[in-house]
Amino acid sequence: MFVGLDIGELWSDRASYVDDWYAVEEIDSQTFIIGEPKSSQYNSSFLLEGEDYALLMDAGSSERPSGSKSMAEIAGTLTDKPILLIISHMHFDHIGDLSEFNGAILVAQPFIVQRAAESDRTFALDPIWSEVQGLEPSGKIITASSAETAFHGTRDIRVAAFIQPGGILNLGDRPVTVITTVGHTYDSLSVIDHARNYAFSGDFMYQHFGGVVAFLPGAELKVYIESIDAFLSKTGPAYRFFGSHGQQEYDYQWAIGMHTEMVKIRDGLVEPRIAGNFMSPGVPLQLHQKGPLLIYMTPFFDSAFIFSRYFVWMAAMAYALFSIVLFVLLGMLPRKKVPTN
């Protein structure tokens, strides 16, 4: 439940349900929002069509009911061009129907490129991937860790191709730029269509009244702010901005506001309070609020530590210890003798 937008409610009167699960809004005749208003985090994916190819940003929330159409099928009803999937990041709620596609485009972050290079698992790459300008075909399968999927287990990511940060992908008379926007995650990317003045920012930036989850606190907040600086320098007030959760479209002022508040957090000018968030049930987070803008961050520890195997191992040990203590205490309770017949 979010202020102003209930689960299942349409985000705009220009949007309409195409079946029981998906709703679509045409931004222009070649650009679509594919929303999942009934998903718990009000997810959206975006379809950008060129003369030769269509680019689909994200593969669905993972929450569609069984038997419903996949994100691949829905996107296929909106374009007759071959669909190239790009994922904004590897969190579970953006890769739901990944297996329905012949892999996905990832931005060439050195640590992901290296993992792909070291992987000995491959898949049969569709020839289309070597035809598209601006891409480096891969064909490798990497494993997204549980931390990378936002604690929804490990997932195979079939890497169809990499695009260099700042690289231009030509969809056929429609070049789009892909930039890294590290902050929400290390692998986050945004897609910018400079000709039409559109920017698609994934989870790096959105106007979702459930709040922005910035997983990089402390020193790494600096990196998030640098990403916002870069994102703002490549866009401007004339752009239309679209995020992947909640009310998709937000304006330049919202982006500026997020920057301003992040800088205040970095400079210690505000005191975040401890709060919970639906993204990480049971885990206390730090929250800084400015009007409708909520910025959640991991508390106490550096996020690289929180997402490390060491931390998961410690949590597992603490849980095991707690279980043993509970078991022993229960065993010490006086018991009634149960009659045997």
Summarize as ranges the residues that interact with Zn ion (CB under 5 A): 93, 203
Phi, psi of 112 (to 5 degrees): -80, -40
Least Å distance, CB 203 to Zn ion, is: 4
Residue with smaller CB distance to Zn ion, 36 or 261: 36
DSSP letter at 291 equals T
Least Å distance, CB 186 to Zn ion, is: 15
How many angstroms separate the CA atoms of 169 and 131, rounded? 11
- What is the amino acid identity at position 95? I
Q: Would you state the structure tokens that stand for residue 296, as one six-digit string?
A: 């959640």
Q: Would you state the structure tokens that stand for residue 312, as one six-digit string?
A: 């998961």
Q: Which of 208, 280, 253, 301 is nearest to 5 (CA)?
A: 208
Residue with smaller CB distance to Zn ion, 133 or 154: 154
List beta partners, residue 142.
Answer: 157
* Full DSSP string of 54-76: EEEE----S-PPTTSPPHHHHHH
Least Å distance, CB 208 to Zn ion, is: 9
Residue with smaller CB distance to Zn ion, 55 or 90: 90
Least Å distance, CB 314 to Zn ion, is: 26
How many angstroms separate the CA atoms of 160 and 10, rounded? 33
Residue with smaller CB distance to Zn ion, 210 or 217: 210
Residue with smaller CB distance to Zn ion, 103 or 243: 243
Question: Are residues 299 and 285 in contact, defined by beta-carbon separation less than 8 angstroms?
Answer: yes
Least Å distance, CB 213 to Zn ion, is: 8
Q: Which residue reads 């000709």 in tokens? A: 195
Residue with smaller CB distance to Zn ion, 57 or 132: 57
Q: Would you state the structure tokens that stand for residue 176, as one six-digit string?
A: 């789009």
Least Å distance, CB 238 to Zn ion, is: 27
